[in-house]
A = this chain, B = another copy of it.
Amino acid sequence: MGKSMAGHLMNAGYPVHVYTRTKAKAEDLLEKGAKWADTPKEIAQNCDVIITMVGYPKDVEEVYLGAEGLVAHAKEGSYLIDMTTSSPQLAQKIERTAAERNIATLDAPVSGGDIGARDAKLSIMVGGSESAFHDMEQIFSKMGTNVVYQGKAGSGQHTKMCNQIAIASGMMGVCEAILYAEKAGLDPENVLKSIESGAAGSWNLSNLGPRILKGDFAPGFYVKHFIKDMNIALKSAEEMGLLTPGLQLAKKLYDELAEMGEEDSGTHALYKRLANQG
């Protein structure tokens, strides 16, 4: 996703420096004229706006708060934007630490996946200071069509958690409905025709349902990343004193799915866990 997003910024005329752990992934951008940096620190020292899209919260923490990280080495008055789906609490910690050096930070996770990134149609959920959001709005608009300021630091991440919470239980419903249809001897494609336009309708049912029926479990969005996100959401909900039984059950089923060796499948592979009632 990072590659597509950086490409849109280059197409819009922004000079782009890139760093990634696997340089080969940046080749296309480098051929288009992006400048290579050997370390995050080098990015920090050279850029006014830095956008990160990494893996897990521990990666975010290292890239931002490590001794060789962005916060320690970014220029005063620069902007750091983390578009990784990560911990709201970590986003708040990063903001506090960066503020001491007069550096603005935004947490701005996205939804829309590879396709949304490629087509510059991401939904971008932004937390942090409102003035920093307005300063960066032009940049966000090159990558997404649904850019919404959600409030103080961490609010972008919290909003993404709402997104993942709705998906988690929703996917159970989609997979159980399709399994039921098959067990009952129905034609599941006909069932989708009856139910997808009504109250049972959802993005997952219409977009991933047909892929389940074809036995196509390629990601879209990886099981392993969804588990990461659900872990963040559960921890965050727990810290707020909120019980989320649907999310808890979905997380348990996804953990069992990963144990079945499906962590690199798409999220709709939950069907396989539910079908596996040995």
Contacts and interface: CB of A to CB of B under 8 A. Distances in A.
Contacts of A245: 172, 176, 249, 253, 274
B191 A150 contact: yes
Nearest to A127: B186
Contacts of A155: 184-186
Contact of A186 (B158, B166, B173, B177): B158
Contact of A123 (B113, B162, B197): B197
A77 to B, nearest CB: 28
B198 A123 contact: yes
Contact of A151 (B113, B158, B185): B185
Contacts of A159: 181, 186, 190-191, 194-195
Contact of A200 (B158, B167, B173, B184): B167
Contacts of A169: 169-170, 172-173, 176, 246
A181 to B, nearest CB: 5
Interface in A114-163: 116, 123, 125, 146, 148-151, 154-155, 158-159, 161-163
A158 B191 CA distance: 9
Interface in A192-224: 193-195, 197-205, 207, 221
A203 B203 contact: no
Contacts of A22: none
Interface stretch (A29-37, A42-50, A66-74, A236-244): A236-244
A219 B237 CA distance: 29
A150 B247 contact: no
Name the interface size band of chain A.
35 or more
A166 to B, nearest CB: 4
Nearest to A122: B198
Question: Which residue of A146, A164, A178, A246 has the most chain B CB atoms within 10 A of its CB atom?
Answer: A246
Contacts of A167: 173, 199-200
Interface of A: 88, 111-113, 116, 123, 125, 146, 148-151, 154-155, 158-159, 161-170, 172-174, 176-181, 183-187, 190-191, 193-195, 197-205, 207, 221, 233, 236-237, 240-247, 249-250, 253, 274, 277
10 contacts: A123-B194, A150-B186, A159-B194, A163-B195, A164-B200, A165-B173, A166-B176, A170-B173, A202-B204, A246-B249
